[in-house]
Structure 1
C-alpha cells in the first residue's frame, strides 16, 4: 500500500479530452511538473517578476525557480493549511507572482478570493486538486504534476490564458518513459506476487532513478503513452472512489482526532488523508514492515511538515486495506484502543 501507482481497471472504452473542465485557451502537457515550473521560471525571469512561495513545499517544486535565479520570498502556511494573508496584504504586488498550492486536494478559499483582487500574478499548483471540482479560472496560470493522482509514468501540465506566455519544450526522445514503466512492473512483481528477492526491489530502484534522470528538469512533452492513458482514464469514477475512501477514514474516531481536515466539502476530491502524528518518521519506517509505504508530503522548514502523515486513499484500495492501515498506524505508534 502507498507504493508506485499501478495501472488499474479505472478506464473507459472511449477516448476523452482530459481536463476539459479547466477553462483555459492554452493547455500544454509536459513530461513532469518540474518541467512546467521550469517554463514558469523562464517566464518570470524574462518579465522580471519575483515570486512569493509558500513555506510548506516540495524541494522539487522550488529548484527550477532557484536555478533560474528568480527572486523568491516566502509566506507562511499555518497549521490548518491556510495562508498568512495578513502578511501578504502588506507586501508589494507589482511585478510579483503568488504561488498557491491546493494541499492534498483542498483549497484555501480565503487565499483564492484574496488572489483575485490582490494585483499579484497568480500561479496555482493543482497537483493535488486536479480531480476537485473547483473554479480555477481566476488564476493566471495553473500547473502541476500528473503523477500524484494518476497511474501515468510521466506527466505535467501548464494551462494559461496569458498571450505573452512563451512555451518552451524540447522535442526529445520519448524513451525515458520506458524506464519508469519498467520500474512500475518490477514493483508490481515484488508486491503483488510476493517475491521477496531483493533483486526486484533493486531493479525497481534502478529503473526508477534512470527514469527520473531521463525526465530531468528541462521542459519536454509528455510521452504519448501517458497521454493516451489519460484519454481513457475514468476521472469521475476515480473521484467517487477517492471520496468514499476518505470518508471511510473520516468515520474512524481514532483517525478523526488526528485529521487535518475534519470534513469533506462536496467539490473536493482528495489526494490523500493527512493526519498529524508524533514521531512521524519512526512510524513511517515501522509501517514498511507491513508493506505500507507512506510518502512524506513534504520535508521543509515549516515546522508542521515534521508531523504530517499522508494515508493513501487511492482508488485501488478497499475498505479492508484502509482499516488495516489504521490498525497498523495505531499499533506502531503505541496508541491504545479507545474505550
Structure 2
C-alpha cells in the first residue's frame, strides 16, 4: 500500500543493513533499487548524508527506540518511511517531509493481526480490503488450544503447533492487504485502556533481564519495551539448549545473504509480554546463564 503510492517503487531507497528479510523480499519483488547504511552493535546509526544518496529513507526504530537525527531542510523533497513494528503506537509525525510510519501488533502483543499506518501523504487505499484476513481465525484457534493445553492439560502439543503452522503458511501466501479483525481491534482497545499497567510490567521485565544478563544486554530506553535484546556468543547453541526446556526465543533478525552486519549472528530477543509471569522471565534468564556457563567451560 505504501510502495504503490507516489511511484515509490521507481525511486532509490536507503535502508539499514540490519533488517527483516521480508522487507528485502518485498523491495526485490517490486524491483526497487536500494543501498544500505550501517547499523552498529548498539543499534545506533548515522543519517547525516542520507539526503545525498536516496529518494526514500527507510528507518527502523529498533526495539522501540527512536534515533532519528536528520537535517529536515535537506530532506524536504524526500520520503521517510519509519518502521515502528516494536511499539503499539505510532510516533509523532516528522513535519516538513513526506513521512509514513506503521507498526505490527501481532509481532509484539498476543493479537493475531493488526497494523496501524499513519501518513502525512495520501496512500493507495485501493490496495486494502476491509475484510478479516483468512489466517486470523486459525491463529486464534491455535492460541485457545495452546492456553487450554498449558493450563488445563487439554489436547496435545501437536494440536496447537499444527494450527500455528497452518496460520503462518496462510499468512505467507497472502497477497491481499486486509483490515484488522474485530477480535484484535477489541483486544487492542483493552491494551490501550490499560496502557500504564502494560508499560509498568514490561519495564519491570526489561529491568529483570538487564540485571540477570547485564554483560550481554543492549542498553535501550523506550516508552514501550516489547523485547529485551541481548548480544551473546553461541547464540544458535543457546537457542537449541532453550528448546529442550520448551523456551522459544525469536531472532530479530536472522542472517540474510544479501546483507552483512555485526548483529545477526549474535542477537537474541526476550519477549516482555504481560501474558508471561515475572517468574517466567526470571526462569528464561537463568536458563540462558546456565547454558552460557556450560558452553564457556
TM, length-normalised to structure 2: 0.85
Does residue 333 (structure 1) correspond to residue 289 (structure 2)? The answer is: no
Does residue 231 (structure 1) correspond to residue 189 (structure 2)? The answer is: yes
Matches within 5 A, 1:153-164: 153-162=112-121, 164=122
Return the offset for 1:131: 4.9
Which residue of 1 is the match for residue 31 of structure 2?
A: 69
Which residue of 1 is the match for residue 46 of structure 2?
A: 84
Matched-pair contact (CA < 8 Å) for 1:44–1:50? no
Matched-pair contact (CA < 8 Å) for 1:179–1:211? no
Which residue of 1 is the match for residue 4 of structure 2?
A: 42
* Secondary structure in structure 2 of the residue aligned to 1:309: strand
* Secondary structure in structure 1 of the residue aligned to 2:53: coil
Match of 2:283 among 313, 316, 324: 324
Which residue of 1 is the match for residue 202 of structure 2?
A: 242
Which residue of 1 is the match for residue 69 of structure 2?
A: 113
Which residue of 1 is the match for residue 14 of structure 2?
A: 52
Matched-pair contact (CA < 8 Å) for 1:148–1:271? no
> In 2, distance between residues paired with 1:191 and 1:245?
22
Quick one: structure 1 residues 188 and 145, their matched pair in 2 at CA, closer, same or farther if it must change by over 3 Å?
A: same
Unaligned stretches of 5+ residues in structure 1: 1-38
Which residue of 1 is the match for residue 253 of structure 2?
A: 298
Match of 1:127 among 85, 91, 99: 85
Quick one: structure 1 residues 149 and 199, their matched pair in 2 at CA, closer, same or farther if it must change by over 3 Å?
A: closer
> In 2, distance between residues paired with 1:326 and 1:116?
42
Matched-pair contact (CA < 8 Å) for 1:42–1:68? no
> In 1, distance between residues paired with 2:268 and 2:235?
6
Quick one: structure 1 residues 206 and 271, their matched pair in 2 at CA, closer, same or farther if it must change by over 3 Å?
A: closer
> In 1, distance between residues paired with 2:4 and 2:292?
45
> In 2, distance between residues paired with 1:173 and 1:147?
14
Quick one: structure 1 residues 187 and 198, their matched pair in 2 at CA, closer, same or farther if it must change by over 3 Å?
A: closer
Matches within 5 A, 1:189-208: 189-194=148-153, 197-208=156-167
TM, length-normalised to structure 1: 0.75
Unaligned stretches of 5+ residues in structure 2: none
Quick one: structure 1 residues 334 and 223, their matched pair in 2 at CA, closer, same or farther if it must change by over 3 Å?
A: same
Quick one: structure 1 residues 150 and 319, their matched pair in 2 at CA, closer, same or farther if it must change by over 3 Å?
A: closer
> In 1, distance between residues paired with 2:65 and 2:20?
17
> In 2, distance between residues paired with 1:250 and 1:173?
39
> In 2, distance between residues paired with 1:275 and 1:113?
25
Which residue of 2 is the match for residue 18 of structure 1?
A: none
> In 2, distance between residues paired with 1:142 and 1:177?
23
Return the offset for 1:299: 1.1
Quick one: structure 1 residues 121 and 166, their matched pair in 2 at CA, closer, same or farther if it must change by over 3 Å?
A: same
> In 1, distance between residues paired with 2:19 and 2:35?
13
* Secondary structure in structure 2 of the residue aligned to 1:293: coil
> In 1, distance between residues paired with 2:197 and 2:44?
29
Return the offset for 1:225: 2.0
- How many pairs align? 285
* Secondary structure in structure 1 of the residue aligned to 2:289: helix
Matched-pair contact (CA < 8 Å) for 2:63–2:227? yes
Quick one: structure 1 residues 218 and 69, their matched pair in 2 at CA, closer, same or farther if it must change by over 3 Å?
A: farther
* Secondary structure in structure 1 of the residue aligned to 2:214: helix
